[in-house]
Amino acid sequence: MKPTYDESSFRVLKGLEPVRERPGMYTRTDSAAHIIQEVIDNAADEALAGFAKHIHVLVARDGSVTVTDDGRGIPVGPHPEEKIPVVVLAFTRLHAGGKFDKKAGNGAYAFSGGLHGVGVAVTNALSQRVEVEVRRDGKIHTVSFAEGGEKVSALEVVGECGKQTGTRVRVWPDPKYFDSPKAPQAELERLLRSKAVLLPGVQVTLAVEQPDGGVLEKTWRYPEGLAGYLKEIAGSESVAPIWSAENYAGAEDESFAAGEGAAWALGWWPDAAPTESYVNLIPTVAGGTHESGLKAGVFEAVKSFIEHHALLPRGVKLQQEDVCGKLGFVLSARLLDPQFQGQVKEKLNSREAVKLVASRVRDPLEIWLNQHVEAGKAIAELAIRQALARQKNAQKVEKKKQSGVAVLPGKLSDCESTDIAENELFLVEGDSAGGSAKMARNRETQAILPLRGKVQNAWEIEPNRLYANAEIHDIAVALGIEPDNPDLSGLRYGKVIIMSDADVDGAHIQTLLLTLFYRHFPALIAKGHVFVAQPPLYRVDVPASGKKRPAKRLYALDDGELEAIKERLAKEGVPLDKIEVGRFKGLGEMNPEQLRETAMDPATRRVLPVFERPDAHAETVRLFNLLMGKNESAGRRAWMEEKGNLIEADV
């Protein structure tokens, strides 16, 4: 390690260097599938905007992949500010593209796969060579990139194309950045098939060159749209007919921008049902807030139908999982400014998507159920059976716990449910935050235990002396398990969530609680029951701007996220002097609605799972000894002197 920390310690990465230095931050590195998907998504965005009718993908024997569309063609003229051809900017500059400028309908795309703005620039950075052909304005233009975008050929006109338009991109992924430089054919087929489903009237073709020189082609079209696709991937008969519909906000909508909404097909199956979701045609394999909104809308509609027809047996309380546990669906949401978790875009994080999709689905589904009463009753019967089975299992668990159970702590606000898989215990810093959390919680499944002051450092406390500390005693009793005992059969909550302020005191409380769990309740961590909430540090209020952009509230986890939000708003044309930025000094300052939205609602919160890598046990114990051991002050001092420059503390 370099002994000095001075001006020469800083290195500035330029152009596409950051991508090549840390490719895993920008894309998947198990295969080249995602960098090829970035090119396919650009072609799909042209189709989504209504300008392309054909997408063709060719996988060549030399490992290259060519994506062709008949859209408008990437602009080839010089950018008005950068003075560089726009097609070159798209492939060589991060955070450049036609998806940023959405104000007043000026942008190239109203709906597209997000605003990360790295796209095909990442494809170029991680490829040996990229060749681009653009047919536009009656001429054929070509440009090529080599050595990860370092070498750029001159943009040339090589012929005429009449009225033809479109873009052809050929990519040779660089093997040194991927476990496998080839995109798995099965994954490409799934991706392209889904584009055909989500883009009515668009023909999607995959051609693969064979070793004998032939070409194997597959073309997808779905005349039944989402319903036909869901029927195909489910492979069996549904309990009731598959229902498909779409619902988008109009220009007069006060809550959402015109065009925002969703299309879907959904049904119920006796066994496990398939689910797929997309945002602006981007597959969200890890789900996200749009799926939460769909389930919320479906639950409310089915619950209302069951109540209207008096189908629910006495003593049975319906929960969302009862209705949605056997629900299969294909969901395609459209959002003006989607926010994803990570550049790979596997999970949607946009909080407004919950309300958007739920509001689009609920009323049409309730109308459909009441028009198809027999189908509605079949769905209701399946949901009620699920609820009865859940309650029966919960009763079995309760009988195991009744013998010798301790009196629960008086300050614990317990939840009503006895379903361990659903129940959550929030360990909250301070009584004021505890009060907000009690009002913000879902009483059915969420319990609150406020902690007064800081929990005692339990790293070197003997197990038989733990209960001498009141806070540790209350935590153990609330959990229903004994310290230093691997038996979790008495556990009362499936998730234990540490929720403290976003400052140094909050970080200290997190550390003390993690020390307690790691030393005396290791089975909790080993079984994946412990989580840390990430409440935001800032609230950003954005004013309304006409009917297309209603007022909205955004949250930033830290200074970096705040700057990113400001940059995005500036590019959207929102004057920064019009936005209001509020800083939360602690959880107690948040009103219940804000606390629910940012830290407690499973659909919109951020929580980090706590786990230990199998190969890291010795290193974890060493670090806990260093940080929490009573006789390690000299080691801690040396460690802080060595690592102090890395801290970003909010003091």
Q: Is 501 a catalytic residue?
A: yes
The two structure tokens encoding residue 569: 């708003």
Question: To 10 degrees, the CA torsion angle through 583, 585, 589, 590?
Answer: 50
Catalytic residue (one of 246, 381, 503, 567)? 503
Taking residue 285's Cβ as centre, other Cβ atoms within 10 Å add up to 14
587 neighbors 429 (Cβ within 8 angstroms): yes
User: With contact defined as beta carbons under 8 Å apart, do 595 and 437 qualify?
Assistant: yes
DSSP bridge pairs for 333 = 262, 279
**DSSP SS3 for 594:** helix
Rounded CA gap, 284 and 339, in Å? 12
Helices (H), 331-372: 352-371
Instruction: Please pick, among 363, 444, 505, 612, the residue that the annotation labels catalytic.
Output: 505
Backbone phi and psi for residue 252, each to the nearest 5 degrees, phi listed first = -90, -5
Cα(149)–Cα(127) distance, integer angstroms: 8
Query: Taking Cα atoms as reference points, which of 443, 519, 507, 517 lies closest to residue 475?
Result: 517
Count Cβ atoms within 10 A of the Cβ of residue 286 and give its class: 0-12 exposed, 13-18 middle, 19 or more buried: middle
Beta bridge partners of residue 169, listed in sequence order: 67, 132
Is residue 619 classed as helix, strand or coil in its secondary structure? Answer: helix
C-alpha distance across the termini of the chain, in Å: 28
Quickly count helices (H) and strands (E) in the chain: 18, 22
Let me know if 505 is a catalytic residue.
yes
| Catalytically annotated residue among 352, 429, 572, 601 | 429
Give the C-alpha distances (Å, rounded to integers) separating 113 from 5, 43, 527, 649.
41, 11, 36, 34
Tokens 């004994």, located at residue: 482
Q: How many residues does the chain have?
A: 651
Q: Is 133 a catalytic residue?
A: no
Report whether 142 contacts 76 (CB < 8 A): no
Alpha carbon of 516 to those of 306, 426, 484, 521: distances in Å?
46, 15, 10, 7
| Rounded distance between C-alpha atoms, residue 521 and residue 485, angstroms | 7
- Give catalytic status of residue 429 as yes or no: yes
- 156-160/151-152 β-pairing: unpaired
Instruction: Choose the catalytic residue: 41, 352, 501, 572.
Output: 501
Strands (E), 457-572: 495-499, 530-533, 538-542, 552-556
Give the active site residues. 429, 501, 503, 505
